[in-house]
Amino acid sequence: MKKTGAQILVDCLVKEGVDTIFGYPGGAVLTIYDALYHSPLRHILVRHEQGAVHAADGYARASGKPGVVVVTSGPGATNTVTGIATAAMDSSPLVVFSGQVNTPLIGNDAFQEADIVGITRPCTKNNYLVKDVKTLAPIIREAFYLARTGRPGPVLIDIPKDIQAQSTDYVFPRQVVPRGYHPTYDGHPGQIQRCLELLATAERPVLYVGGGVILSGAAPEILKFAEAENIPVTMTLMGLGGFPGSHRLSLGMLGMHGTYWANLAVTECDLLIGIGARFDDRVTGKINEFAPLAKKVHIDIDPTSISKSVKVHLPIVGDVKHVLRQLLADAPRPRAEIARARQKWLKRIAEWKKDKPLSYRHGKMIKPQAVVEALCRATKGDAIITTEVGQNQMWTALFYEFNHPRQLITSGGLGTMGFGLPAAIGAQAAFPGKTVIDIAGDGSIQMNIQELATAVQHKLPVKVAILNNGFLGMVRQWQKLFYGGRYSHSRMDVSPDFVKLAEAYGATGLRAQLPAEVEPVIAKALKTKGPVIMDFVVEPEEDVSPMVPAGEAINKMILL
Amino acid sequence: MRKHTISVLVENQFGVLAKVAGMFSARGYNIESLSVAETLDPTISRMTIVTRGDDPIIEQITKHLNKLVPVIKVSDLTGTPHIDREMALIKVEAKEKNRAEILRIAEIFRGKIVDVSPTSFVIEVTGDDEKITAFLALLKPLGIKEIGRSGKVAMGRGPKTAGVEPNGEKEGG
C-alpha cells in the first residue's frame, strides 16, 4: 500500500503500541501533524519542547514503555537537548522525532535549520537522519528496539519535511536489529559460580542496588535474594523503590546524602554486590576509600559501567533480572556460622541506625522534611512522586518511604532542575487514576512552570508541593558549609505568588505558612480534582543532613 | 601508556566517523592516527585507530567502541601478531649536488620517485612507523619541503580474518 512518510510514521507508532505522544507543532512537522489529526494517538500539547521530552521521560519511567516526542526543526529540536541528555544519563527509553528542513536545503543555514543529529550524537543511544522515505519504517522499528532493549536510552530520528510528504510502498517491517548490537542478558556461568563462592564466606555483605533493578523489573528477584541470604540492601537515588524502604533489610540511600548507617555499612562490609548501579561519584565519595574492606562484585548490562571508576574483583555483564535468577537457582542457604555472623552484622547496623537516625528539629516554621513526611502519610506511601533537583530531591529521597519500583521519578544523573513538573504530567498521562505529586523547590519549579497550562488543558490532575525557602537551597547549603557563608546570588528575593500563579493558569493554589496548616493543605489538595500547587513556606535555612563533603570518604559525614 | 592499534569494522554510513571520533573527544581519549576505507563488503568500512593509554583506558576505549550501535566489530591488534603500514609522500629539495644521494636513500628504503621537477622530488614510501620516521630523519638535512603522511592500516597475521562472523557476534563486551 502507498503511504506518505508522515502516514508511515503514524502507522508505525500505532503498531509499536504507542498510545500517547508529547509534542509541539511547527513549520517542519506540519505534514506529520496533519497525519496525526485523524489518528487514534493521544497528543499532549506542551508549552515548551523541553517539557515534552521530560513528560515523555516521566511517562516512560512510570510505565516502562518508551516515551515518544514530536517537535519541529531548529529551535524545536535544540530545545529537546536537555531532556534527551537527562534521559540518557538515567537510561530512560525515548524515541524523539524532529522535523528537518527540506533535503535540498540541509546545510544551507535554512530557516529553522539545526544539525540536531550532530548536536545529540553524544547524548543519544543512536540517532538517524532519514534521507530516503523507504528507510523510514525500518529506522523507526530499529529505534524502538534500541530504546527499549539492552541498557535503555533515548533515540532521535530527524525527518526532513519533503520526506514526510513523499509516498512509497509500505508494509510494517519485521523487527530490525542492527548487526553490531548484541546486549548480553545472561551472566557468564563461571562468574555466577565465583559470585556464589564469595557469598558463601561473606560475613558482612551489602547489596548496593541502582536504577538497573527498576529498568529490568528485578524488584521481586532482589527481594527474594536479599531475604534468602539475609543481606542488607542500600539503594542509590535511582534505585529507591527497587527494594521496599520499609523492609527490615533496607538501609535506605547511600552516598553524599545517604543515611549514616548505610554509609557506615558500605565502609565496613566485606562483600559489596553492586546491582544495576554504576559507582557514581555522588555514591562513592573518595574513590580509594569506598568500601575499602570489601570484595566488590558488579552486575551490570553495560560493560562500560564496569571498572569505570572503581576497580571491581568480579564483573558480571548481564541483565540484573537474568543474573539474579541465575544466582537464586544455585544459591545455597548460608551455613550456620555464616548465618550467625550475618545476624550480628545486622545487629551492628541496627545500632548505628538507633545511634544516628534521620532527624530534624521542629520549630515555629514549617520544616521541609515534615512536609515530605506528611505527604508520605497522606498518600499512604503509595503515590508516584517526581522531584526537581536540589534539597527538595534529597529530602524526598530521605523522608518519603518508597516501597515500589517506578514510584520515584527523578533526574539522578544529569540533575536537571525543571524536570519534576513535566515528568509528573507524563506519569499522570500513563496512570490517570494515580496520585502524582511533584515535590519541588521555589527555584526549580520556575524552570518549567509553563507546563502547568499543559496539565490544565489535558486534565492531568498533578499536585505540586513547593518547599518554598526563598533560596536555591542546595547552592546556599554548599555556600554556608564550604564558601564561608557567602550566599552569592543564591537568594531568590522575588518569586511569583504561587497561589495566584496557579489560579492564573486555571489550577488551584493553596498555601501553608504554619506547621499546623501542612496536613489540612495536603488533604485539601488531594481532594481537589484538577492540578494543584501547594506553596509551603518553609524554614529558609534548613540543611540536608547527613552530608558527605565532595571528595571525602562516605563515612566522613557531617550531621547538621 | 602504550600505543595500541585498534581495528574497527563499522557500518558504512554517514555520521559513523563523527560518532567514533566524538566518543574519543567526549571522554578525553586521544587519537594518534586514523584511517578509514570501505571493505570488500561495501556496507562495511574498516577504521584503523592508533591510540595511547594504560590497560584500564584501552579497556574502556574498546568497550565504548563496542557500545556504539554502528560498530560491528572491534579488535585490539596490539599484543597479537599483526602487520601495520603507513604511507608517506615526501617532497624534498633536489639540488644538483644532492640528487644522487636522495635517490640512493630512497632506494635503500624502497621508496619510489613519483614526481620530478628541476628542483624537487616527491618520494612515496610505505612501512611501519619506525621505518618512515627513520627515512624522514635521513632526508631532513637535505631539505624536506612538505610531508603528507597517512594514518596506519593494519591486519592480523595468519589465515584468521577480522571479518564479520555469519551471526555478527561482536568481540569483547
Q: For A346-373, how does the pLDDT look when each residue is reduced to its tens digit (9 = 90+)? A: 999 999 999 999 999 999 999 999 999 9
Instruction: Considering the candidates A16, A49, A451, A542, report the single residue annotated as catalytic.
Output: A49
A152/A223 same-domain check? no
Closest CA to A545 of A409, A357, A328, A343: A357
CB contact under 8 A, A126 and B69: yes
CA distance B23 to chain A (A): 7
Residue with cell 591486519: B155
A122·B26 Cβ contact <8 A: yes
pLDDT at B168 over 80: no
- Among this protein's residues, is A161 annotated catalytic? yes
> Which residue range forms the structural domain that includes residue A458?
368-537
Residue pLDDT, tens place only, A387-402? 999 999 999 999 999 9
A155-169, A197-211, A329-343, A503-517, range with the lowest pLDDT: A329-343
Is B164 close to A121, i.e. CB distance below 8 A?
Answer: no
Asked if residue A161 belongs to a domain, the reply is yes
What ipTM did this prediction achieve?
0.91
Is A363 within a domain?
no
Marked catalytic residue, from A253, A417, A474, A557: A474
Q: Which three cell numbers stand for residue A373?
A: 513526611
Distance in angstroms (rounded) separating the CA atoms of residues A292 and A232: 18
A353 classed as catalytic: no
Statement to judge: residues A7 and A147 lie in one domain: yes
| Locus of grid cell 537522519 | A129
Which residue reads 618512515 in cell numbers?
Answer: B132
User: Residue A181 falls within a domain, yes or no?
Assistant: no
Using CB atoms, which residue from A117, A126, A317 is nearest to B173? A317
Q: Check whether B165 has a pLDDT greater than 80.
A: no
Residue at A178 is within a domain:
no
What is the pTM (predicted TM-score) of this model? 0.95
| A399 and A349 part of one domain | no
Q: What is the DSSP letter of A553?
A: B
Among residues A355, A380, A403, the one where a domain terminates is: A355
A165 and A218 in a common domain: no
Q: Does B15 touch chain A (CB under 8 A)?
A: yes
The answer on A38 and A130 residing in a single domain is yes
Pairing, β B144-149 against β B82-93:
antiparallel
B55 interfacial to chain A (CB closer than 8 Å): no
Q: A472 or B97: whose pLDDT is higher?
A: A472
CA distance A213 to A227: 16
H runs (alpha helix) in A121-259: 136-148, 161-165, 189-201, 211-215, 219-229
Q: Check pLDDT > 60 for residue A188.
A: yes
Is residue B33 over pLDDT 90? yes
| A176 — pLDDT class (breaks 50, 70, 90) | confident
Distance CA A182, CA A538 (A): 51
Give the pLDDT score at B128. 93
Q: Confirm if A5 and A159 have CB atoms less than 8 A apart.
A: yes
B36-78, pLDDT tens digit by residue?
Answer: 999 999 999 999 999 999 999 999 999 999 999 999 999 999 9
* Residue A458 located in a structural domain: yes
- Model confidence at A330: pLDDT above 90: no
> What is the per-residue pLDDT for B164?
64
Asked if B19 has any chain A CB less than 8 Å from its own CB, the reply is yes
CB contact under 8 A, A304 and B60: yes
Statement to judge: residues A389 and A284 lie in one domain:
no
Tell me whether residue A263 is in a domain: yes
Model confidence at B160, pLDDT cuts 50, 70, 90, reads confident
User: A-B interface: how many C-beta pairs under 8 angstroms?
Assistant: 52
Per-residue pLDDT of A401-458, as tens digits, reads 999 999 999 999 999 999 999 999 999 999 999 999 999 999 999 999 999 999 999 9
Residue that finishes a domain, picked among A169, A199, A231: A169
Number of domains in chain A: 3
Indicate if A89 belongs to the active site: no
Query: Does one domain contain both A437 and A524?
Result: yes
pLDDT for B166 beyond 50 = no
> Is B28 in CB contact (< 8 Å) with chain A?
no
CA angle at A212 for the pair A211 and A214, rounded to the nearest 5°: 70
Grid cell at residue A90: 538515567
CB environment B23-61: b (16+ within 10 A), e (fewer): bbeeeebebebbbbeeeeeeebbbbbbbbebeeebbbbb
Partners of B72 on chain A (C-beta within 8 Å) are 179-180
Pairwise CB contact (< 8 Å): B70 & A178 = yes
A211 closest CA partner among A199, A223, A219: A219
Mean of the per-residue pLDDT values of chain A? 97
User: Is residue A144 domain-shared with residue A114, that is, in the same domain?
Assistant: yes
Report the pLDDT averaged over residues A133-148.
98
> What residues of B are in contact with residue A302 (Cβ under 8 Å)?
67
Mean per-residue pLDDT of chain B:
91
Query: What CATH number is attached to the domain comprising A276?
Result: 3.40.50.1220
**Residue B85 near residue B127 (C-beta atoms within 8 A):** yes
Residue A282 has pLDDT above 70, yes or no: yes
Is A91 part of any domain? yes
Report CB contact under 8 Å: A304, B67: yes
Whether A269 and A315 map to the same domain: the answer is: yes
pLDDT tens profile A199-236: 999 999 999 999 999 999 999 999 999 999 999 999 99
Q: Which H or E element spans position A391?
A: helix A391-399
Summarised one tens digit per residue, pLDDT across range B94-144 is 988 999 999 999 999 999 999 999 999 999 999 999 999 999 999 999 999
A125 pLDDT exceeds 80?
A: yes
pLDDT at B167 over 60: no
Statement to judge: residues A123 and A196 lie in one domain: no
Residue A62: the pLDDT is 98
pLDDT at A118: 97
Give the type of residue at A58. G
CATH code at position A163? 3.40.50.970
Q: Same domain, yes or no, for A377 and A476?
A: yes
CA A191 to chain centre: 30
Residue A386 domain-assigned (yes or no): yes
Does B170 touch chain A if contact means CB atoms closer than 8 Å? yes
Same structural domain, A515 and A454: yes
| End residue of a domain, out of A122, A137, A169 | A169
Q: Using CA atoms, how far apart are residues A162 and A31, in angstroms rounded to an integer? A: 9
